[in-house]
Amino acid sequence: MNQTINLASQIQEYLPRQLWQAVNTVGKKATELGQKLYLVGGVVRDLFLGRPNFDLDLAVEGDAVQLARELARVSQTKLTIHPHFSTARLDYKDFSLDITTARREVYPRPGALPVIEPGTIIDDLFRRDFSINAMAICLTPEYYGELCDPYKGKDDLERGLIRVLHDQSFKEDATRILRALRYEQRLGFSLEPRTLQLLQHDIPMLDTVSSERIRYDLEMILKEEAPEKILNQAYQLGVLQKLHPSLKGNGWLAQKFEQARQLSKKVPLPPLYFSLLVYSLTETENEQFLLRINPPKKLTQLLRDTLHLKRHLPELTKPALKPSRIYHLLYEYSPTAIQANAIASDTSKIRQRLELFLYKLRYVKPLLDGTDLVRMGIPPGPQLGEILKALRQAKLNGKVRTRTDEEKLVHNCSSR
């Protein structure tokens, strides 16, 4: 017989006090409404692992929307309801709680979003990705702290295994392939042998997943501490190639990601990682990859910029390039695209010049601006623009230093 495991004291130790009080209040309110409340998903896994995670998901056998409404009525919280999914979010002052109605999911076809019906906590756990994410802790006072672990997630946590709950899992939702690799590397776990077999068999099912979902999971990978490990494993297994056949997750990428991290205080990492990931693609291949992941405009532009600049890098190897010329070659590219090229390029001259632009030239500004020029009698219009450009060039090339130098240059330009 299975022994009941009670985690009441662990919950109290693990959660910050306010959060602990809040979930207990929700548990009591659920009981008043005749509903049973559970803490579910990643937080239960992380509680066992002793990893902080205060992104709490609650599931209720009953009606999450009704429960959340009641709570919002009696406390100072902001309520957001998603009636279609029977979920609600309560925003407190310092944290928020997501409450969902425990549910059963039926997949009409692979890759499609599931059809949802209310269900028990066991149903709710069965729709989850891996055993380690399919545990719940009861928060209803009568059973407070009892672990619900029908798929032996705790054993898998102890053995360091990522295991799917059934053989159809990757077929139903192939994004789980990317999620499996993410957890495997994040936690230093292994894929349980049958899960690995199923994963490899179902790699083609990634084609059934929408571009938005693929991109979301790729972004989640790039937010991890060492995404190169996940990408390398994805490459070894042939998963990365399914997103584009020319993508590589090899040692080059690992080395470049590591370099990117050394700059992490200066640049946001995920976009820079993205640029480095596509660096081995041609511009045509990049367009194919963009079609597959359909990113927002800004990311699309960044990836295009990165490869466009890569094609023009040879111009930066010319001897005796004036700083103004370097500025002119680079100022239209986003700093992240330039940074990616600086990391990726093996030519030290190119790297130096890209870095000169990034850390110095792009900040160079003349002391005089348009208003000063108007005050000096230059009429607004194209000539004024030209003079400002000439001022910047002179400043970049060290030809003017003081305000008087700049004023002289303005007089010379305007009297021409």
Q: Which is nearer to ligand ATP, 183 or 289 (CB)?
A: 183
Residue 41 makes contact with ligand ATP by CB under 6 A:
yes
Structure tokens at 11: 């919950």
> What's the closest the beta carbon of residue 107 comes to ligand ATP, in angstroms?
11
> What's the closest the beta carbon of residue 215 comes to ligand ATP, in angstroms?
14
Q: Which is nearer to ligand ATP, 224 or 283 (CB)?
A: 224
Structure tokens at 91: 């925003």
> What's the closest the beta carbon of residue 120 comes to ligand ATP, in angstroms?
16
Query: Cβ-closest residue to ligand ATP?
Result: 42
Q: Which is nearer to ligand ATP, 22 or 136 (CB)?
A: 136
> What's the closest the beta carbon of residue 28 comes to ligand ATP, in angstroms?
24
Name residues contacting ligand ATP, limited to 103-142 (CB under 6 A): 128-129, 133
Residue in the block written with tokens 């130098």: 405
> What's the closest the beta carbon of residue 103 comes to ligand ATP, in angstroms?
12
Q: Contact region for ligand ATP (CB under 6 A) — 68-76, 173-181, 199-207, 350-358?
A: 173-181
Q: Which is nearer to ligand ATP, 8 or 49 (CB)?
A: 49
Name residues contacting ligand ATP, limited to 174-233 (CB under 6 A): 175-176, 179
Among 42, 111, 270, 335, binds ligand ATP (CB under 6 A): 42
Residue 149 makes contact with ligand ATP by CB under 6 A:
no
CA dist., res. 380 & res. 373, Å (int): 9
* Count of residues touching ligand ATP (by CB under 6 A): 12
> What's the closest the beta carbon of residue 293 comes to ligand ATP, in angstroms?
17
Q: Which is nearer to ligand ATP, 57 or 405 (CB)?
A: 57
> What's the closest the beta carbon of residue 242 comes to ligand ATP, in angstroms?
17
Burial class of residue 252 in the structure, from the number of CB atoms within 10 Å of its CB (0-12 exposed, 13-18 middle, 19+ buried): middle
CA dist., res. 155 & res. 164, Å (int): 14
CA dist., res. 78 & res. 334, Å (int): 38
Q: What per-residue string of b and e applies to 52-64 under the rule 16 or more CB within 10 Å gives b?
A: eeeebbbbbbbbb
Residue 101 makes contact with ligand ATP by CB under 6 A:
no
Q: What per-residue string of b and e applies to 230-239 under the rule 16 or more CB within 10 Å gives b?
A: bbbbbbebeb
Residue in the block written with tokens 């009297």: 415
> What's the closest the beta carbon of residue 191 comes to ligand ATP, in angstroms?
16
Q: Which residues contact ligand ATP by CB under 6 A?
A: 41-42, 53, 55, 57, 128-129, 133, 173, 175-176, 179
